[in-house]
Amino acid sequence: MDRRKKAPHVACAQQLVNSGLRGKARWLAVWFALLSFSPSAAEPANAPQPDLSAESYIEWRGGTLAPAGTLEIDGRRMDCGQYPTVLDPDYADFGGAYARFLVLNPQRFGGLASPVKLWIYSHECAHQTVGSDEVKADCAAVHRGRREGWLTASGLEQICEFMRPARQDRQHFGGAQRCELMQKCFRQDNKPLRR
């Protein structure tokens, strides 16, 4: 797949393009367990508004709404305060952060290891507090993983492996450098390493 594909909007860590597309139904069953669903309604594209809501996004692009506090990733409830998540299988990246909600692409998540999924979600969530700074979002996601207990040293290795092919672009360092910076964040927490 084209790894140079440009991610939209805040375009995150996930400028990589996964090669293993999987069925939406399978993904919904296996990957996310949502407490509620809303029907998706694909509409012809219009220009997104800066204050776009999750509901407006769904009307615009399609997708499924996971209201704030209802998202589970591989059995773990993940929240981002008041911000809901739109699950959009056509989103051009693994995930993204809009001002009032997050977007995840279930198709691209299908084959990823749990720590990678949790880290991506946490990275996108972190944009709600650190703004567009990608290094800070990476680091905040690592700290969150350690704090919540889902990120171990081996999990970070999986994230680094996932990031390795990522190229540098205007917003992001290359994958190797991002990995190095995240390892530094990991060590800052100064907790015993678990494997």
Per-residue mark of binding to Zn ion, 33-72 (x: CB under 5 A)? ----------------------------------------
Of 10-18, 27-35, 40-48, 160-168, which part binds Zn ion (CB under 5 A)?
10-18
Q: Which is nearer to Zn ion, 88 or 134 (CB)?
A: 134
Does 16 bind Zn ion (CB under 5 A)? Our answer is no
Q: Which is nearer to Zn ion, 12 or 125 (CB)?
A: 12
Task: With H, G, I as helix, E, B as strand and everything else as coil, classify residue 32.
Answer: strand
| Residue with the CB atom nearest Zn ion in the bound state | 12
Q: Which is nearer to Zn ion, 87 or 120 (CB)?
A: 120
Q: Which is nearer to Zn ion, 40 or 103 (CB)?
A: 103
Of 11-19, 25-33, 146-154, 176-184, which part binds Zn ion (CB under 5 A)?
11-19
The token duo for 30 is: 């296996």
Pair 11, 96: CB distance under 8 Å: yes
Pair 51, 100: CB distance under 8 Å: yes
Length of the chain: 195
Does 12 bind Zn ion (CB under 5 A)? Our answer is yes
The token duo for 6 is: 């440009």
DSSP string across 64-132: EEE-TT--EETTEE---TT--EEE-TT-SSSEEE-SS-EEE-HHHHTTS-HHHHHHHHHHHHHHHHHTT
Does 78 bind Zn ion (CB under 5 A)? Our answer is no
- For Zn ion, the binding residue among 17, 66, 112, 137 (CB under 5 A) is 137
